[in-house]
Structures are given as structure tokens and as C-alpha cells.
Structure 1
Amino acid sequence: MRLFFRLAIGLAVLCGLVVYGYWSQQRPATHYLSDLRVHVAVNQGVPGEKGNLLGIQPQLLANDFQNLERLHRKLAAYLSQARSAGLLNPRTVAVLPEHIGTWLMIAGEKPEVYEAPTFEEAMQWLAAGNPLGYLKAATESRPALTADTQLRLKAAQMAQDYQSVFGGLAKEYAITLVAGSIILPDPRVEGGQLRAGEGALFNVSVVFGSDGQPIGQPQRQLRADTSYQPWVSSVAGSGIQALDTPAGRLGVLIGRDSWNPANLRELEQQHTELLAVPAFIPEPNRWAVTRPPDAPQDATNEAEAWRSSLTGRYAGAAICVFSRGTLWDIGSDGHSFVTQAGQTSKDTAAGGAPQGRQHHTAALFNLWL
């Protein structure tokens, strides 16, 4: 009798594992109506031969990352509308927000990931749908740091998808594209391909040329944001690079790296003419209220911290781009803006957008050079 029960229990466990293995491999597509509208919030200067800096502030939801086709469709819609408005040319440098590539961690997952009410629950479904990969990633992660494991889970595929989507868009629209940022382990460009390594995690941005290929190496965030310092590494010493683009020499500072005057001085020493700042604020209603502890001394809130960090401190043309939308229970905040010769542009609603709404929807921020 004992033998019978043991066999029955073993058979039940085996059946359960088979069913779970089959379930974990299923990736049924779900229907989703995406809002592809975008308006021109700022269009400063006069069109000329020098080109332009174009900030693309997308409206993003978790479902936009279900597959690469959906993400491409949304971003291509924004770029197509920019082209229709006369804002794209061979010297255009377009800029996307911080972490737009990081969310590729959820591409190709089960519907439960996108339908989850909270980020925590979504990550539980992510782990459940990738049991073997999650166990492997856990062995390479820092102890007790779940976010580290989640980002290593599909790092190699994320790097490939990042280049496929954003390099593809740069080539399709014949522009230079600062592809926001992505968190990867020890990322590098080898043989024209972005690859993930096996070392520490870094928040990086890659610039793609009009041929779809990376320009230079990934620009690492020099000082990781306080919200993810436990599992994302900062760069020891200086790691700023200046990249040659059709519009001029370009520097990229990710997020709060732009708050450090020493970084701006180094860019000027490298004779950069353009500065792109992909940014992200993961909480709503912080822009005009909260003062971060590491904000510049003359800033009384988040808005002043971002704007004053560039206004009067960088002599070239600069653009700071945030994202909008809600991913699960993660909100967003931040008002994208452009500066030139140390002066910040005034926001001008255009393209049919009601005054005051330009920072809460998908928008384009353009600066003619």
C-alpha cells in the first residue's frame, strides 16, 4: 500500500511538473489598443542646415512592451508624425527617455505579466513563466537582491532587442537616435553589436547612427540613482565620451548625472556642442513638490533641480527628456525641456494640445540648432 501511495504521489508530482512546464512556455498574444497620438509641445528656433535636437516624450504602458512589433509601432508613429511636421532630417538627433530599454525585460511574456495590478505581482509572474532562467540568473545575482535577478534573467536577449528596435528606428528614419537607457550586466559593443556581459549591472545609453549601428561604446550612468544604487553600479572615475554626429559633437548624461557641474565642465572640455539627458522620475506629483536630498543647493524642488542643472551651466544646446504613462503601479513625472546658450525654453502648446497638458501626454520637444 505504501508503495502504491508513493507511486501515486510521484505520478501526481510528475504530471504537475509537466503541466507547469507546458504552461510556462505558452505566450498567447492579447489585444491592445495603443494611443499613437503625439503633439508638438516645443518647437524653438528656425529650421536650418545645422539640424535639430528632438526629444520624444512617449506615453508608455506595460502592454507596449509585450512584443517588439508593438513598441516599434508606437515609437514609429511618433517619428512619422515628427517627420510630417518637418522635424526630421539627416542632421536630426532624436532623444528618448531613461529606462525605455530596461522594460524590454518583460518582452514576450505571459499575459499575466501585463495584466498584473502591481509591479511586484508582475515580477512574480515573470519568475513563474521563466523558472529555469530565473534560477540561473539567481545564481549570478547579488544575494537577496531580487531586482538584480530580474534584470539578468534575459539580459542577452534584452541587448539584442534594444539594438533591433532602436537601431532599426534610427536606420528607418535616417536619423541619429539616443536610445534612452537600459540596465545590463557589463554591457559593451563588439563588432557593431551591443552585448551583455556577466559582471556588475550598469544603466547605459547607446547612440545609434543613421545606418542603425552604435556610435562609440555605451555611455554608462556615472552615479547610479539612489533608488537603485543597491543593485546598479556607479562608474569609478570619469567615463564621459563625446560622439561625432552630423549635427555636431554630442555628449550623453543619464538622469541625475546632469546635476553634477563637473560632468558639464568635462563635456565642454571635450568640445561638445550638444547634450542629451534621458531622464525618468518613477513617482507622480514630485515635479514641483519634492526636493531630492542630492539636488543642487539653489533648487527648492525637483523641477528646479533639473532645470537649474543645465540653465546657465552648459553653453551648448541641451535637451532633457522624460517619459509619461503608468506601468502597473509605477507612475511617472517630469517636464521635458530644451536649453540653448544657457537659457531654458518656454513651453508652448502646439499641435492642438491644450495649454498645460503637454507634459502629461506623448509630446515632441524640438530645438533647431
Structure 2
Amino acid sequence: MKKIFKAILLILIVVVGIYWVWASTDKGTSLQPTLRVDVVESYGDSTEKGNILGIQAFMTSVDYASEDNFKQKIEFYLIEATKSQLLIPEKTVVVFPEYIGTFLVAANEKASLYEAKTLEEGLQTMVLNNIGKFAKTLVSAPDTVKDKVKYAVFAMKATEMAKIYQKTFSELAAKYAITIVAGSILLPNPSVENGNLTINEGLLYNTSMVFDSKGKLNPNLIKKAFPTADELSFVCPAKPEEIPVFDTSIGRMGVLVCADAWFSDSYKVLKQKSVDFIVTPSYSNGTGNWHKKWTGYSGADTPADAKASIGKLTLGEAWVKHAMGSRAKNEAGVSKGLNVFLQGNIWDLGADGSTIILDDSAKATPYIGKAALINLWL
């Protein structure tokens, strides 16, 4: 019996050793981010009042392989904006798309993850590589979470994600002396303590953050109030009345995370707080949906005033007519704004949508699938 026990123990030690070697080697990738801007376009006339610059970033899995890759990709867009004279120190607000930080969940993983063809394949690799942390986080997932697997994947990487996200956007905001609305990132119950982004126990929130021109993270976090149907199984909705506003060098700013721009409750808050302009970081997954007939909002009831457009307008037309493009002016008295969508080839998720400019009237640009700098002078 002792010999059998020793044999089993030896086998376990060998298996664990092999796994440890596999899990701790071949991390990251030698592949570098693709750096390109396809379109640079400005609306309005250049003035001393400043500007809102939308970064319609085109991202791939390689951009998230490491902190260096991520920062290189994000800074590239700011370098190009400088060349195009679209950055005015302390008078520019730069807006990145929703989920720009969320895919940092893939940071510092095995090289095969960045070459995976599908998200499911990539997640399997990530789980196997972090099986201990994954299991611990899965077991401790809140009871109210429906999709505990997705919750566990993001929660187990949250501390690392938050560190890279804050360091990148803080350093770049200070370096270029600009205000940055840093798209959004998925984190468990985040807060800001003593200027540092802090991860806490609890539910995941799709959260946007603002960094001032000195690189300081504003303690008021913008948590998405109306998650989509795809998000609701593992993302917690915030309360619309808790949407904050921000005093910037170009005026009082409201930030609505993607679908929050569809609902009147969001604009009631912004009107009460007297904002001068609104920015909306967005991500629409899939490919080709922008030009297909709109099937209605997912995740909550379609707003009553938009139901007549179901099946008649395209998704893109519906965004212009029923989201920030019209509601900002009609419901909050705001005539300036920018709605920026993420682009890219991030595994098989797809990315759709194009930047929407609100300059008294609303217009969607035609630049789907392109890396673009879309600027609005105030």
C-alpha cells in the first residue's frame, strides 16, 4: 500500500511540475501592435475654446498582450493627433471607446492566446493557465451572478487589469496635458482611494473613468446603468441617478457609457447638473449590424418613443435618432457631443459602429472598421 501511495504521489508531483512549467513559460508575444490611422477629420472651426477628440481605435488581441503593447497602441493615437494639431494642452478632451480597457484581461498570458481564432478558444487557454485563481474566484462569485465563468475570468485578472489601465491613461494624460475619458473597463466593484484605482469584492461593473491634464484619476467613476442583454448575465447595472458630471477646461462634461445614451433617465440627471457637452464611449460587437434593420434595444425595454423605428431604421440610423444624437439636445439642452465606437479584430467578436458627432445636429461618420481621429471644435 505504501508503494502504491508513493507512486501516486510521485505521479502527482510530476503532473504538477509539468503543468507549472507549461503555465509559467511562453508568456506574452513577440508580435507588435499595428500602428495606423486611416482617417483624420475635424468638424467646426478651430477656436481657443478647445475641442473634443474621439479616438476610434482599431484594436487586436496583440495590443493587449502586455502593458508595453497597450501603452504603445494608445499613445500612437495621441502622437498622430499631435501631428495633426488636434491636441491643445489643457483644452482638449480625448474620448476612447467603451471596453478599450476590458480586453486587458488577456495581458501577460500564453502566446497561443493571442493567436487564437475565437474568444472561446482564448478563454480556455486563459483558464487552464490560471486554474488555481480561476477556481478560487469561481467558488467565491456572488450568488446573484448568472454567468459565474465569465465573472471569474474577469475577477481573477482585475488587479492586473486595473494597474495597467490606470498607469497607461494617467501617464498619457499628464504627458500630453489633456483630459482623457478612458473608454471603459470591466472590474469588480471599483473605487478610487487616495488617487488609486482599487478593486473590491463584489459584482462586476462596466466602468468609465476620467483623468485630468495632470494625470489624476477623478474619484467619481461612471458605472454603466443599462447593460445590454449580453452583459447582464455577469455585469451589474448601476443607478442612473448616480451618473456624475465633470468640470473640465472646456466646460461641464457628462459621460454616458454606450447604451446609457438611449434612456431619458440619464439625461434627466445631466440636465439637473447643467452639463455643456456629452461624450459617449461605445462598443457594438458583431459585423455588419450597423446597416441592418434595427430590432430594438436589448437588455431593457426599448424606450417608448423609439419603438416605432424598430424594423424601419438601420441600427446606425437608430443610434443617431434615438440615442445621444437627439436626446442630448431634446432632453438635456446640450448641442455638443461625441459618441465613439471601438473597432478591431479582437478574436471573433467583431466590431461595428462609427463615430457620431453632435454639433447642433447629429451625424454619423461613414468610417466603420477604420482607425480614425474624429475631432469636434467647440
The reply to whether residue 247 of structure 1 matches residue 250 of structure 2 is yes
Gaps of 5+ in 2: 329-333
The reply to whether residue 168 of structure 1 matches residue 186 of structure 2 is no
- Of 313, 319, 322 in structure 1, the residue corresponding to residue 341 of structure 2 is 322
User: Does the 8 A contact of 1:57 with 1:322 survive in 2?
Assistant: yes
C-alpha distance in 1 between matches for 2:39 and 2:230: 31
The CA deviation at 1:163 is 0.4
SS at match of 1:161: helix
The CA deviation at 1:5 is 4.4
User: Does the 8 A contact of 2:279 with 2:337 survive in 1?
Assistant: yes
C-alpha distance in 2 between matches for 1:200 and 1:8: 44
Distance 1:298 1:338, change over 3 A: farther
- Of 335, 345, 355 in structure 2, the residue corresponding to residue 336 of structure 1 is 355
230-239 vs 53-62, greater mean Cα deviation: 230-239
> For 1:246-295, what per-residue CA distance to the aligned partner results, in whole angstroms no more than 9, with x for missing partners?
11111110011001123123212211112110000111110010414225
The reply to whether residue 297 of structure 1 matches residue 307 of structure 2 is yes
Q: Residue type of the partner of 1:306?
A: W
C-alpha distance in 2 between matches for 1:236 and 1:101: 22
C-alpha distance in 2 between matches for 1:33 and 1:14: 37
- In structure 2, the partner of 1:22 is 21
C-alpha distance in 2 between matches for 1:248 and 1:236: 24
> For 1:293-316, what per-residue CA distance to the aligned partner results, in whole angstroms no more than 9, with x for missing partners?
225235423112211122333223
Gaps of 5+ in 1: 348-355
- In structure 2, the partner of 1:118 is 118
Superposed CA RMSD: 1.7
Q: Residue type of the partner of 1:201?
A: L
SS at match of 2:218: strand
The reply to whether residue 148 of structure 1 matches residue 151 of structure 2 is yes
- Of 259, 278, 281 in structure 1, the residue corresponding to residue 281 of structure 2 is 278
C-alpha distance in 2 between matches for 1:345 and 1:270: 26
- In structure 2, the partner of 1:306 is 319
The CA deviation at 1:27 is 4.3
C-alpha distance in 2 between matches for 1:336 and 1:144: 31
Distance 1:36 1:237, change over 3 A: closer
Paired residues in the alignment total: 358
> For 1:143-176, what per-residue CA distance to the aligned partner results, in whole angstroms no more than 9, with x for missing partners?
6521011110111221121101111221121100
Q: Residue type of the partner of 1:334?
A: G
Q: Residue type of the partner of 2:82?
A: R
Choose between structure 1 and 2: higher helix proportion: 2
Q: TM-score, normalised by structure 2?
A: 0.90
- In structure 2, the partner of 1:235 is 238
The CA deviation at 1:70 is 0.7
SS at match of 1:344: strand
User: Does the 8 A contact of 2:195 with 2:219 survive in 1?
Assistant: no
Q: TM-score, normalised by structure 1?
A: 0.92
Q: Residue type of the partner of 1:336?
A: T
- In structure 2, the partner of 1:265 is 268
Distance 1:78 1:216, change over 3 A: same
Q: Residue type of the partner of 2:119?
A: F
